[in-house]
Every structure is written in structure tokens, then in C-alpha cells.
Amino acid sequence: MAVTHTLTIIKPDAFGAGKSGQIVAHLEQAGFRVVAARVARLTTEQAEGFYEVHKERPFFRSLVAFMSSGPCMPLVLERADAVAELRRVIGATDPAEAADGTVRRLYAESKERNAIHASDSDENAKRESGFFFAEMELIANRQVNER
Ligand code: ATP
Ligand code: MG
């Protein structure tokens, strides 16, 4: 399986609770390498832009308020089959339904305050990585150049 990239965000609930170190360690132990990382406090407009695909969903306003409620930690991660593997490692959206040992099962509070985001396709991984990081930062640290 080819080495690819994905975008994750340690969300404001987990970051604010001081869980970012444990979550990054969990991801590294699962075989991901950190290519880029930052701490960001999203404005309302930025959170709306990031989650634009959900703008018609009933939970959209609440999700935007949550994601802009405090600092979060976006990271670009690299490993074989990164998008699918990260979705597996974080678990189901609702922590009550997430498999044992997944990040959401271990660290999430609720279906909304669910600790971590992961891109759901290679195309969205590219869009979301570009949302937080300059091309220059991504190129510098990649082991594999997908362009
Ligand atoms: P993410 O995109 O953050 O990785 P996901 O792909 O598992 O999560 P989505 O359906 O894309 O889930 O929903 C985006 C986010 O919106 C969820 O992670 C969660 O924070 C919130 N959310 C989703 N469904 C609900 C819901 N029914 N009630 C409240 N919040 C929700
Ligand atoms: Mg999603």
C-alpha cells in the first residue's frame, strides 16, 4: 500500500484537556509520522469554512461554536494508506460506538466533542492540509511526494 498523507485535528475538547501529547503518541505508535503541526484558534468564519460540507446539517452551528471555542491542533500525518488507517485508528464518530482502543473511545466526551478529526478521502486530505499549512511546509517534511 502506498505511503500517503492525511489531515487530523486534535479538537478543542481534547486539546483543552491536555490530551494532545497522549493522542500524538497514540498516532505515532500506530505508525503515523508527523509531517506538519501547529496550534490554531479558529475564528467562526474559519470553522464554517473548514466544515462547509456540513452547512445544511442540524448540528452545524453547534459544531462551528465548538470548533472555535478554544485552541486546537491540526497535524498532517504520513503512513501507508494514511486516510483509511487514520479513520480506523480514531474510531466511530460517536465514542459510545467507537471500538475499544480507538482514540475516540479513549479520549472523546460525546458525538460532537469527539476529540479528533480525520480526513475522509485523499482529495479532502489535500484540501484540508492546504487549509492549515503552506505548500512549503508540507513539501519540506514529506518523505513521499504525491504531487
Ligand atoms: P470528522 O469529520 O470530525 O473527522 P466524522 O467524519 O466522524 O468526523 P462527520 O459526519 O464528518 O463525522 O461530522 C463532523 C463532526 O460533526 C463530527 O466529528 C462531530 O464533531 C460533529 N457531529 C457529527 N454528527 C453529529 C451529531 N449528530 N450531533 C452533534 N455533532 C455531530
Ligand atoms: Mg467527517
Residue ranges of the chain whose pLDDT lies below 70: 144-147
Q: For a pocket test of ligand 1, which of 13, 53, 59, 77 has the largest count of ligand atoms closer than 8 A to its C-beta?
A: 59
Topology adopted by domain 3-41+71-146:
Alpha-Beta Plaits (3.30.70)
Q: CA-CA distance, 36 to 34, in Å (whole number)?
A: 6
Summarised one tens digit per residue, pLDDT across range 13-28 is: 999 999 999 999 999 9
Atom 7 in ligand 1: residue holding the nearest Cα: 93
pLDDT value of position 43: 98
Please identify every residue annotated as catalytic: 117
pLDDT, averaged across the chain = 95
pLDDT of residue 139: 83
Report domain extents, the chain.
3-41+71-146
pLDDT for position 137? 86
pLDDT of residue 146: 62
Decide if 90 contacts 116 (C-beta within 8 A).
yes
Task: Count CB-CB contacts under 10 A for residue 75.
Answer: 23
